[in-house]
Amino acid sequence: MQAAGKNFPDEGWLFLTSDEKNIKQFMDSIGFYFKPTGKDFIHPVVTVIVNPDGKISRYLYGIRLLPFQVLL
């Protein structure tokens, strides 16, 4: 998050890791798709905001996020 130039508290973020099958299932469930191109991937720049109930509350597209955009 520091590389993005934003000062968001670390405890407010959750990054998921898993095996390929589970990642694909999760990405399909939120409508996120990517295309491998050699050693890189083509994909939209999107942050998916999930509320405390586990439901998606919004999709934020782009690399510049403002704190008010991610508050629930």
The DSSP H or E segment spanning 29 is helix 20-30
Give 37's strand partners: 40
The reply to whether the predicted model has a pTM over 0.85 is no
Phi and psi torsions of 39, nearest 5°? -90, 0
pLDDT in tens, 16-43: 789 989 988 988 998 888 888 988 889 8
Number of domains in the chain: 1
Domain of 10, in residue numbers: 2-70
Q: At a CB cut-off of 8 Å and minimum separation 6, what does 54 contact?
A: none
